[in-house]
Amino acid sequence: MKKLLPEEIEEKSFSIIEKHIPVNLFSETEREIVKKVVHTTADFSLIKKIYFSNGVIELATDILKRGKDIFTDVAMVEAGISPQYLRDYKGKVICEIRNPKVAETAKSEMITRSEAAIRYAVEHNNNIGIFAIGNAPTALFELIKLAKEGHISDFIVIGACVGMVGAKEAKNHLIKSGLPCIAIKGKRGGSPIAATILNGLFKISRRGL
């Protein structure tokens, strides 16, 4: 095999992925996100599982340009965001899963730490514009509940929680809720996918629509 430079490998990979995406299934910017997800996972079956609510990419890039904060349910999502995008980003990346107060709330109220983390973040920060859920279905269920109760506004959700119990249901609930979102249908998902979607949105926002 001919030795290729990293950028040549990525370009060739994206060209291969492009051929597998149905022509009229996604908008131009949605296709960019889809290609990045497939590139990260090497799984073409995810193409038809990626859901975009109407106008969500335009809203997400506007949110990023305004420097709103980003909530991640686990540290692995935060760790997967490319440093080049965070270097001069005006907003903060927030992950409360290891916060001792969150652990106390989870124990006293007999809920998961992921649920408690969402509650804590929303109660203590009114500047969160993106909620990236890459692990816990319970976090996504709680987020939808808080949104319906009017505790959050001007935001989008990345629904990429993973697992055999609750993940599919949580993402179906998200899609049916009408909240602006990008979601991976079914049981598949994970922190790398959530971070990949965030990186894709950053890239689009830096370039402009």
In angstroms, the CA 173 to CA 185 distance is 11
Known catalytic membership, residue 39: yes
Q: What is the b/e burial string over 59-89, where b = at least 16 CB atoms within 10 angstroms of the residue's CB?
A: bbbbbbeeebbbbbbbebbbebbeeebeeeb
In angstroms, the CA 166 to CA 170 distance is 6
The end-to-end CA distance of the chain, in Å, is: 37
In angstroms, the CA 114 to CA 208 distance is 33
Nearest to 80 by CA among 152, 174, 158: 158
Q: Which one from 20, 39, 124, 151 is the annotated catalytic residue?
A: 39
Kindly list the catalytic residues: 39
